Amino acid sequence: MSVKHCVASLLVLIVAAICVSCPQQPPDEDSTRPAATTTEQEPMTPVAEPVKPLYVGKHVLEVDSYNDDYAWTNRLTEAVRQVLEPAGVELQVIRLDAKRHQEEEYIKQAAAEAWATIQEVQPDVVIVSDDIAVQDLVVPYLLGTDTPVVAVGINWDASIYGLPAENVCCQIEIALIDEILALLEKYADGPRLGLLSTDTLTARKNIHYIKEYFGVEFAKEYIAGTYADYQQGFLSLQDEVDMFLIASNVGLPDMDEAEGIRFVTENYRIPSGTWNETFMQHCLVGVLKDPTEVGTWAGTTALTILDGTSPAEIPTSANERGLLQINMNVADKLGVVFDTAVLKEATVIRPVDDLAGGEQANDNP
């Protein structure tokens, strides 16, 4: 073995001996942890702040002409609420109850009390619905004030109340008469047209404008002040005309609704039509004004005013949407068979025997 090999072997043995004799160092605490990954973690999605309604602290007061168990009223107010409350607007509702209390003194007192409430709470916008509230609240108290007003449900013509005005914008309400008559003519035996109504301000106005705007001529008209008058008019029309319109069947304190439905159904011999859902249990067909359309317009317009638009800048509009309804109870009595197109489009009113407690129920076929 060469001297170089001997020296190299000796060095290896010395190094090995040193390593064996040296004490082992405890592992570093960090060496027991998993190695850090070099992949960046996805940033946390920030928690969104709750969306704050834009109109918190704003107050809208709705003054309705009628009562809270009137179908039109309920749906109109609910549509207003669906627009305003999600936006943070406080909605307060006053009912004048003018369907059940038609005495002039009562209505004027109710309107005066509504005005007192308006002065007390100072709403940012007032919504009024239907002619009574316009005639007895807007005209004598609100017209020309600093309070912005949205007036809806004004039958046919707002100009008779001096509307629109600087602080009042409005939507008029019209009946879709041409569509109703076109339906009735399909099921009538002749052209003679009759009319049955109760004696209310709205009904009288509807009748006037139906004649004026549509050129409608009634062969017979019956305006009832009592349920007995209504019954007699209904029976007389079955013999005197070929079809008829019901302009109103409300405002008769002596009429029980369930009994009234049974009376007309038992005595039907000719088709009838209407434009108001409340009267559909007494009619064969209806092309109805939609209170949801009206309430949505009122609520949306109130928000527009809260955004800074003057009522004077908002153009007058009119209802446009027609809702077709058919009463199968009356159809069965008359032997009317509706075609597929009508059945597909219409809401069907169930027979009165299917109604719990005489209340109206609707099915969408």
What is the band of 257 on the pLDDT scale with cuts at 50, 70, 90?
Answer: confident
Beta carbons of 216 and 193 less than 8 angstroms apart: yes
Same domain, 91 and 231: no
Phi-psi group of 289: left, alpha or beta (phi > 0 → left; psi -120 to 50 → alpha; rest → beta): beta
Please report, rounded to a whole number, the percentage of residues in the chain having pLDDT higher than 90: 67
Inside any domain, residue 38: no
Inside any domain, residue 353: yes
Residue 7, pLDDT score: 40
- C-alpha dihedral over 264, 270, 273, 279, to 10 degrees? 0
Inside any domain, residue 131: yes
Range of the domain at 87: 59-173+291-318
Sheet holding 272-274, edge to edge: 220-224, 193-198, 243-246, 272-274, 285-289, 322-327, 347-349, 362-363
pLDDT digits (tens, 9 = 90+) for 270-327: 999 999 888 899 999 999 989 999 999 999 999 999 999 999 999 999 998 899 999 9
Residue 332 is part of a domain; what is its CATH number? 3.40.50.2300
Inside any domain, residue 40: no
Same domain, 112 and 212: no
Same domain, 311 and 224: no
First vs last Cα of the chain: how many Å apart? 111
If one counts the domains in the chain, the total is 2
Give the 3-state secondary structure of residue 229.
helix
d(CA 299, CA 305): 10
Same domain, 348 and 233: yes
In DSSP terms, which residues pair with 287 in a beta bridge?
324
Beta carbons of 138 and 130 less than 8 angstroms apart: no
Q: Phi and psi dihedrals of 212, rounded to 5?
A: -75, -45
d(CA 67, CA 54): 31
Residue type, 42: E
Same domain, 262 and 192: yes
